Amino acid sequence: MNNTPLNRRQFAALTGAALLAGHAHAQADFPNKPIELVVPFQPGGGTDALARSFADATRKHTTQSVVIVNKPGASGSIGWQDVMNAKPDGYRLAIVTVELATLAHMGIGKIQAADLQPIAQLNADQAAITVRSDSPFNTVEEFLAAAKKEPGKIGVGNAGPGSIWHLAASALEDKTGVKFNHVPFQGAGPGVQALLGGHIDAVAVSPAEVTTFVQAGKLKTLAVMAEQRVKGFEKVPTLKERGIDLVIGTWRGIAAPKNTPPQVVAYLKDLAFKASSEPSFRETLDKQNLGFVYADDAAFKARIMKDNEYFKALITKLGIKAS
């Protein structure tokens, strides 16, 4: 029997091989515990609704549950930084929105557009101007005329400084020469509740995030910032129809920490595709007027980086800074 002791190089090699073998086994065994999906906004908005519907749709396609974790703050950057700093093993993911491509240009948070690994895009929605049903404004022209008459008086809610809905209202100011009082919330849901409570005059969020209240007769949408009229809001004109050339909105998708193992990314891509193909997922989005748009990881990454350049230029032009 050979009892020759191992030298340091041999010991390091054997130890490294054992660690690699264990790491490979862990990847092959993925997932063997619940997957957490971080939503960086409060419950009640479109992002939260999409995340919960997606989690439900994964049940047929994975042995483990997808658990929603709401982690709001700083227009989304707190939740994304949490995932960015998580162990890259696929067990902590994020719902990302277009704010991933806006916040860094305003000095909000430490997240950059390239700091997460895209998995799949699941949605795209346009911005809209919505007021209470008892508001004196029945058209977007009346709304803008009031804002122009008394600059800074009309309170418009958004999902936080640097959020897409903040940028949408700011871009509308730039196009029309009016001045709003921008009121930030930790997500569209709280902003809509503030509107319902009479604390603000309007919100610049997506039609999906006000659908329930518009259908109930509590809110009315004056205009959408889209190329064409939105499904479910066919009677609502686009800004373009009213002579204002402004199209702006959000997208939502799934992302993981950078350096997540390729085998795990492949599993998550397949899961995202299968879950997003579930009729229940499509039906839920349709009922809430959340637009379904699917893109794989490569196409989604290209969209993120393209929007990163677009919003960098827009934010610079508008001179928007973190408050």
Q: How far apart are CA 24 and CA 11, in angstroms?
A: 20
Q: pLDDT grade, residue 18 (50/70/90)?
A: very low
* 268 vs 18, more confident: 268
Residue 53 lies in a domain: yes
The pLDDT of residue 75 is 86
Q: Summarize pLDDT for 179-216 with one digit per residue, the tens.
A: 999 999 988 999 999 999 999 999 999 999 999 999 99
170 lies in a domain?
A: yes
Q: Which residues contact 190 (CB under 8 A, 6 or more apart)?
A: 42, 44
Which backbone phi and psi does 181 adopt, to 5 degrees? -100, 105
Q: What CATH number should be reported for the domain holding residue 92?
A: 3.40.190.150
pLDDT for 261-270, tens place per residue? 999 999 999 9
Buried b (16+ CB within 10 A) or exposed e, 117-142: bbbbbbbbbbbbbbbbeebebeebee
Q: Please answer whether residues 191 and 177 qualify as being in contact, where contact means their C-beta atoms are separated by less than 8 angstroms.
A: no
Residue 101 clears pLDDT 70, i.e. is over it: yes
Instruction: Tell me: do 260 and 289 sit in the same domain.
Output: yes
Is 134's pLDDT higher than 50?
Answer: yes
Residue type for position 72:
P
- C-alpha to C-alpha distance for 274 and 58, rounded to whole angstroms: 8
- Whether residues 37 and 86 share a domain: the answer is yes
Provide CB contacts within 8 A for 160, sequence distance 6+: 74, 75, 76, 166, 184, 185, 186, 187
pLDDT of residue 143: 99
pLDDT over threshold 60, residue 68:
yes
Tell me which of 242, 263, 292 is where a domain ends: 242
How much is the pTM? Answer: 0.79
Q: Mean pLDDT throughout 139-144?
A: 98
Q: Higher pLDDT residue, 229 or 75?
A: 229
Are residues 275 and 235 both part of a single domain?
no
Q: What is the pLDDT of residue 9?
A: 61
Task: Assess whether 166 and 116 both reside in one domain.
Answer: no
Range of the domain at 222: 128-242
- Same domain for 90 and 45, yes or no, is yes
133 is a domain residue? yes
| Domain identity same for 105 and 162 | no
For residue range 293-317, what is the model confidence (pLDDT) as tens digits? 999 999 999 999 999 999 999 999 8
